[in-house]
Amino acid sequence: MSKRHSVMKNHQSVESVLSNDEKTALTVAEQNDYSPNKQNNQVTARLDNMIYLSELNRMNVRYVSFSEDKAQDEVVLKGLFHHHFDRHGLSVHAGNLIEMADRTSFAELPPAISMTILFDGKVSFSLGSQRYQLGCLGEGRVECSAFIINQPEMLSRRFERGMHVNKLNIFIERQWLEERATTPDERQHIQQLFQAHAAFYHWQASDVVAKLASDYLFKAQHTTIQDELLKEAIIFQLIAENLKVLTSLHRAERSQKTDNSYATASQENQLRHQIDDMLMQSMTVAEMASAIGLSVSTLQRKFKTTYGMTVNNYCRQRRLDMAKKALLVDKKSIGEAAFIAGYAHPSNFITAFKKRFKLTPSELVAITFPSA
């Protein structure tokens, strides 16, 4: 790794390049950024900053929540934390951090591509029933990864006390990406990328990507308008570079069978939101189709094209996802989670839960909260 790429590895070396005026400006920027009325949610914490759970909640970091039994005055992270959210569907967070407690966070994610560039440390997370660990390429090698989800999914992220993590994550909602496609070929390619749910890709970062990410991390504590514009330009470059790699990896693994019918994100979201609104009403597929204004066969065909599953299977999976969130985030009992998922008998719920997540509810809770 070059000297420039490792510039964020040493907290003291970064602090030494800041003038007193820059440090003062940074402190003022932190106070202003906590305002809930800012159009763009951007937070930059000082390099020696202790980040409390209550502060993370006040920062309004989108998608992420911790289990409700955690004390709000608990120190979760220490170090540089930078978060920027474009309300049209682009979210960036960067950090050179030490994880201060063994904790789990949860995120209910919309259809999106999540790209991570990891310089140091290990990151453990689960997506649906699959578990992943980043940081396996070895010391000194910058690691890239991405996952693509074409339907809402629960992500759980495990924090490990004492782990030093230096990374940049770019979260791109599907609709944000599709709105920037300018040709039919580009739109079709994006739709192809989203054909498979929870696709995961992993590769070593190119020198170009490593330098761009390092530049962003270096500028994360600077908040002038010039720096903000430069950081935004870097993010767009990183998206473009990583999309080229994803395109290559995706094409390499595609089967010979090609399905040329695709649903766009806006079409998909409209139909999905309508179904989601009716999830807890115990409606039949015929009643849902009637409420939406479609025949049963048309509704089933649209869902099969978009998700590769029937409406009934989609509803069953979404209710189980809601039950999983209730268990982990809201600390509900297995009986309460079973009711949320639409099961009258906990035994049937446990069977369906294990089929979906490869673990029983009690096994999942024990793994997620090993000290509980």
Q: Does 239 or 327 have the greater pLDDT score?
A: 239
pLDDT confidence tier of residue 8, bands split at 50, 70 and 90: very low
Residues 229 and 278 in one domain: no
Decide if pLDDT at 113 tops 50: yes
Residues 306 and 219 in one domain: no
Q: Which of 253, 284, 310 is the last residue of a domain?
A: 253
Residue 258: inside a domain:
no
Q: What is the pLDDT of residue 25?
A: 32
Q: Which of 197, 224, 253 is the last residue of a domain?
A: 253
Decide if pLDDT at 137 tops 50: yes
Q: Which of 253, 274, 299 is the last residue of a domain?
A: 253
Rounded mean pLDDT of the chain?
A: 78
pTM: 0.68
- Structural domain boundaries, residue 234: 11-253
Please return the burial class of 205, using the count of CB atoms within 10 Å of its CB with bins 0-12, 13-18 and 19+: buried
With a pLDDT cut of 90, the percent of the chain lying above it is 28
pLDDT confidence tier of residue 31, bands split at 50, 70 and 90: very low
Q: What is the pLDDT of residue 214?
A: 93
The CATH number given to whatever domain includes residue 74 is 2.60.120.10
Q: What is the pLDDT of residue 17?
A: 33
- The count of structural domains within the chain is 2
Find, among 161, 176, 168, the residue nearest to 115 by Cα: 168
pLDDT tens digits, residue range 299-316? 888 888 776 788 888 888
Residue 1: inside a domain:
no
Q: Does 172 or 31 have the greater pLDDT score?
A: 172
The CATH number given to whatever domain includes residue 354 is 1.10.10.60
Overall average pLDDT of the 287-294 stretch: 88
Residues 273 and 240 in one domain: no
Q: Could you tell me where the beta strands, DSSP code E, fall in the chain? A: 41-44, 50-52, 64-66, 75-86, 90-99, 103-109, 112-120, 123-127, 130-134, 143-149, 153-159, 164-173, 199-204
Q: What is the pLDDT of residue 269?
A: 61
